[in-house]
Every structure is written in C-alpha cells, then in structure tokens.
Amino acid sequence: MAAESNGKSTKIPEIKFTKLFINGNFVDSVSGKTFETIDPRTEQVIARIAEGDKEDIDIAVKAARAAFDHGPWPRLPACERGRIMMKFADLIEENVEELAALDTIDAGKLFAFGKALEIPSAVSTLRYYAGAADKVHGNTLKMSREFQAYTLREPIGVAGIIIPWNFPSIMFFYKVSPALAAGCTMIVKPAEQTPLSALYFAHLAKLAGIPDGVLNVVTGFGPTAGAAISSHMDIDKVDFTGSTEVGRLVMQAAALSNLKSVSLELGGKSPLLIFDDADVDTAADLALFGGFYNKGEICVASSRIFVQEGIHDKIVEKLSEKAKNWVIGDPFDPSTRHGPQVDQNQFKKILGYIEHGKREGAHLLTGGKTHGEKGYYIEPTIFTNVEDHMMIAKDEIFGPVLSVMKFSTIEEAITRANATRYGLAAGIVTKDLNVANTVSRSIRAGVIWINCYTAFSPDCPYGGYKMSGFGRELGMEAMDKYLQVKAVVTPLVNS
Ligand code: ADP
C-alpha cells in the first residue's frame, strides 16, 4: 500500500482493480465507457472504473449460467465449498488494511473502524457461511399410507446481487457468503459510488480458488447495469439492498421479466424508546451511536428518539453535551468519529432535510451546518421538539440527523413508534423487564435491541417488516434466500 502523509495518519492505497470481473478475468466494458469514483473527503477523482451496462450483464450471466449448469461449484461436496470460502476469508484478513483504506477513500468511512470492525465482520460472515455450507439438509416425510417423500434443498441458480454504498464490504459478504455456501453462481453490482473493494474481493476470490464464472462483479449505474439484472430472463434470484423506491422498481422488473425470486432490504426510520428508568448516560450514548454511526448512513439508524417525559430534559442535555465528542474530520485520523457523507447528492439531500426541519419549527439543538472548505462534511445534527408529522420525523434521511420526541405512556410510545411505513429495527432503553418484553413484542420491526443498538453478528438474522422489505440477512435464515426445496416422492409399495 502506498503511504502518503499530510501530517495526519493518511494512507492512500494504490488502486489496482478498475475493470469488470467476468468469468475469472478483469475486462473492459463492451462500450469501453468508464465512470469516475470520487473521494468524498476531497471531492477529487480517485479512479475511472469500467462502466458495465446491459451487454456486460448479459456476458456475466452467460458465464454464471455455464458455471452453474456445468461447472464444479454447485457439484462440489459442500464441505469443499466451505474450505475454499475459508481460504477466501483468510486472504481478506491478510489484506485488511488495504481493504479498509479503499472503503475510506470511496465512502468516507472511518479507517480505524473499517480495520477493527467492518472488514473483520465481513470475514466472520464469510467464515460463518463457510461452516454452514455442509449443514443444509431437507426432511423425510411420511405423507400417507401409499407414499413417502424426502425434500432436497438445492441452490436457486444464478443470483443477481445489487448492493448499496454505505457498507461496501459488509453488504458484499452479507449476500455473497450465503449464495456461495448454497452453491449458487452470481453477478454482483456494487453501488457506483463505491466500486473499489468489491473488485478487490473478486481478485481475492480467484486467488482462493473460487472457479471462474461463480463470482462476477459488474460495476456500473443502477438504471442501466442494475436494471439489467432485475429484468434479466436468465437470472433466478435478485437480492437487493438499497432504497425503498428502487426496491419497488427491482420487484416490478422481476415480476415483468421471468418472475425471479426477490428479496429486499430497504429503508428504515427506526425508533429508539428511552423510558424514565433508563440510565441517562447509557441512553444518550446509544442514541448517538445509533443515529450517528457511519455518519447516519446506515439503514437501521435510530433516527427517531422517543424519550419519556420524566427523563426527557436530562437526556436532551446529555445529548447536547456528548454530541461534542463526535469529532468531525478526516476519516483516516484515529481521533475522528465522523467523516464525510458519501457524495454530493447525499450531502445536498441531507442539508435540504435540515433546512426543512428548521422551517417546520423543530428546535436545532446541535449541528445543522457543513464543516470545512472541501469534502461532504455535515455536523452531527440533533433536533428536539420534533412532531410526528414533520418530514424529518417521517422520511429516511440517511444522514447524521436525529429527531427527539417526548412521550408519556408505554401505549403512546408503541403507537407512535409503529406509525411509520418502515419496520427495520427498534431500540428500547429500560431496566424494567416487563416494559422491555411488552414493547419488543409490540413493535413491528425485524430486529429489536434492548439496552444496546446496532449489535450485529453473523448468526443473528435481521431484515424488514412492512416497507423495509422482506427476506433476511444473516443467520441460517439468509441461506433460505439462495435455496429452493424439491420434494421427491416414492410409493411405499410398488405395484
Ligand atoms: P441510494 O438512494 O441510497 O443511493 P439506491 O437504492 O439508489 O440507494 O441504490 C442501491 C443500489 O441499487 C445501487 O447499487 C444502485 O446502483 C442500484 N440501483 C439504482 N437504481 C436501480 C434500478 N433502477 N434498478 C436496479 N438497481 C438500481
């Protein structure tokens, strides 16, 4: 990795991979076109990346189809797939610094977190599913007096995987790992803002011994390369993480083409409920971490903080005090907790919401402004006196903007927390087990964190209720997305 020093601990990795990865080779796009990927710290171009489109997706699908129909991957003993996946995981671990640095320059993510948490989390996800590969089995069914059956769980086929820019490495492995374990072949389309680490992973996959055609990476834009995946006649499954608006398009395209299986992990407007008996310090830390982690660019962000009236003022005071610790600056600097937003679009969109919040009459407690002369930096922003009907309380902002609201009873908190089209996650801060149990069973969301927030692990599934999507990431549940069940029936007595 080439190191560069600007007085801080800045490490700029050399960009080694910029082309599409199809059938085991790095290739130019058919059109020869490229697009720029931008460093959100500086607004400068990092590299030009091959721009894949429909023709490139077609070529990648042909390779993935051949690898599925005739290649070794789905036919290998499952433990052998697991062994190769373990090797892939080891190679990622050996390159952790370089990979974390790629996500830092591409997405403005904290380098220290990438190195210590996010790339290791991608590795442990891959290892979890490497171990799961040979634990997939069906059932034996008695049926009736005349027949018996057994079920086989077979790989679904060629998968199209469309991922967002907020966690380029983690999202890649949340989807690719169970797909590989199941014996599928795949085409991954990373977000156009963050193509760098995905191409590096493709290179490591080949070194690990994943056969050509099994894992293809086509970089490009959503309405072209992404749409070519969701509408393709020879892709068996599309697994998408991104906005609810685009999720709807993906599902529509799947329905209008070959009715491919669809799973969607979409937006959220997740509530964190802080009850009167909560420890003020802990609750404020959870609210800030839940809302500002990764500059609020996280689908489970605790963007609605409901605080019970008895503790409300103390929490607001503590939030204001602690928000100052969210040091904003270069994400390579180890003292930084808050880097730049991913790109200019997001930057402008978030600032627009902040202006809206002010106009709607919410009280700006902290932040609200941009930071520095260059780069897409926005201060961690907290609004209080927010009302449920305000746009900042309803829309997914996908940035560092928290809305604090006051409530009096548990029933009120549950009703208001559920009054959203989303249902991805929720948090509860209380010492009262009855409150925790009642609220966790009443909130319609795919994951509930009690006295913690954003606690993830490869064995714990999460995903959406309502318009946050369907299908689950992680856990053995995620294997189901890449498998289909075949029943094999035989007569008990041959006539
Ligand atoms: P965001 O709005 O947060 O950028 P998107 O939902 O637009 O999130 O993007 C998530 C992923 O979906 C990206 O890889 C993007 O390129 C892709 N995408 C965007 N539009 C489409 C589309 N029409 N069809 C398929 N994929 C798309």
The stretch 338-349 carries a mean pLDDT of 98
Tell whether ligand 1 has an atom less than 6 A from the beta carbon of residue 247: no
> What CATH number was assigned to the domain covering residues 20-266?
3.40.605.10
- pLDDT at residue 10, rounded to an integer: 54
Question: What is the helix (H) or strand (E) element at residue 478, kind and residue range?
Answer: helix 477-481
CB 219 less than 6 A from any atom of ligand 1: no
Reply yes or no on whether the pLDDT at 60 is more than 60. yes
Element (H, E) at 85: helix 78-94
**In percent, how much of the chain has pLDDT > 90?**
96
Tell me which residue has its CA closest to atom 27 in ligand 1: 222
Query: Is the Cβ atom of 246 under 6 angstroms away from ligand 1?
Result: yes
Nearest to 472 by CA among 484, 460, 454: 460
Phi–psi pair at 369, nearest 5 degrees: -120, 165
Distance CA 295, CA 53 (A): 31
Separation CA 218–CA 186 (nearest Å):
10
Based on the residue annotation, tell me whether 265 is a catalytic residue of this protein: yes
Binding site membership of 230 for ligand 1 (Cβ less than 6 Å): yes
Mean pLDDT value across residues 180-201: 98
Residues 29, 225: contact at Cβ < 8 Å?
no
Paired sense of beta strands 237-241 and 25-27, if any: unpaired
Residue pLDDT, tens place only, 266-313? 999 999 999 999 999 999 999 999 999 999 999 999 999 999 999 999
CB 115 within 8 A of CB 97: yes
pLDDT band at 493 (very low <50, low <70, confident <90, very high): confident
291 CB-side CA count, 13 A: 28
Q: Is 180 in contact with 214 (CB distance < 8 Å)?
A: yes
pLDDT band of 164, cuts 50, 70, 90: very high
Q: Which of 32-36, 240-244, 490-494 has the lowest mean pLDDT?
A: 490-494
Please provide the DSSP assignment of 270-337 as one string: -EEEE-TTS-HHHHHHHHHHHHHGGGG-STT---EEEEETTTHHHHHHHHHHHHTTS-BS-TTSTT-S
The crossing angle, in degrees rounded to 10, of helices 196-208 and 78-94 is 130
The tokens describing 308, both together, are: 């019970």
DSSP 41-75: TTTEEEEEEE-B-HHHHHHHHHHHHHHHHTSSGGG
Structure confidence at residue 12 (pLDDT): 83
Q: List Cβ neighbours of 194 (8 Å cut-off, separation of 6 or more).
A: 37, 103, 106, 107, 165, 168, 342
Q: What is the position in ligand 1's atom list of the atom closest to the CA of 163?
A: 14
Residue whose C-alpha is closest to residue 263's, from 401, 383, 156:
156
Instruction: Say whether pLDDT at 184 is over 50.
Output: yes
365 CA → ligand 1 middle, Å = 33
Residue range 95-110: mean pLDDT, rounded: 98
Average pLDDT over residues 188-216: 98
CA dist 179 and 434 (Å) reads: 39
Q: Is the CB of 218 inside a 6 Å radius of any atom of ligand 1?
A: no
**Percent with pLDDT over 70 in the chain:** 97
Q: Which CATH number fits domain 271-445: 3.20.10.10, 3.30.365.10, 3.40.309.10, 3.40.640.10?
A: 3.40.309.10
Q: What are phi and psi of 366, to 5 degrees?
A: -140, 160
Share of the chain residues as helix, strand and coil, in percent rounded to the nearest 5: 40, 20, 40
Contact 465, 444 (CB under 8 A): yes
Query: Using CB atoms within 10 A of its CB, is residue 334 exposed (0-12), middle (13-18) or buried (19+)?
Result: exposed
pLDDT at residue 72 is higher than 90? yes
For the stretch 225-236, pLDDT in tens is 999 999 999 999
Q: Which among 265, 297, 396, 473 is annotated as catalytic?
A: 265
What's the chain's Rg over C-alpha atoms? 23
Answer yes or no: 4 catalytic: no
249 lines ligand 1 (CB under 6 A): yes
Is the pLDDT at 4 greater than 90, yes or no?
no
Average model confidence (pLDDT) across the chain: 96
Please tell me if the CB atom of residue 226 comes closer than 6 angstroms to any atom of ligand 1: yes
Contact 425, 444 (CB under 8 A): no
Residue 470 phi, psi (nearest 5)? -155, 160
Flag whether pLDDT at 495 surpasses 80: no
Provide the pLDDT for residue 1: 46
8 A C-beta contact, residue 157 and residue 184: yes
Looking at residues 421-449, what average pLDDT do you find?
A: 98
Calpha distance 296→414 (Å, rounded): 23
To 5 degrees, how large is the angle CA 81–CA 84–CA 85?
85
What is the pLDDT averaged over residues 441-446? 98
Helix (H, G, I), strand (E, B) or coil at 218: coil
d(CA 266, CA 252): 15
Mean pLDDT of 357-361: 97
Q: Whose CA is nearest to atom 24 of ligand 1?
A: 227
From 51, 192, 299, 473, active-site residue: 299
pLDDT at residue 2, as a whole number: 40
What is the whole-number distance in angstroms between the Cα of residue 163 and the centre of ligand 1? 8
> Do residues 188 and 10 make contact, with C-beta atoms less than 8 angstroms apart?
no
Query: Which residue, judged by its Cα, is nearest atom 18 of ligand 1?
Result: 222
> Where are the chain's structural domains?
20-266, 271-445
Report residue 8's pLDDT band, with 50, 70 and 90 as the boundaries: very low
**Going by CA atoms, what residue is nearest to atom 21 of ligand 1?**
222
pLDDT tier, 6 (very low <50, low <70, confident <90, very high otherwise):
very low
Residue 494's pLDDT is 65
Residues paired with 381 in a beta bridge: 401
Question: Ligand 1 center to residue 162 CA distance, Å?
Answer: 8
3-state secondary structure of 186: strand
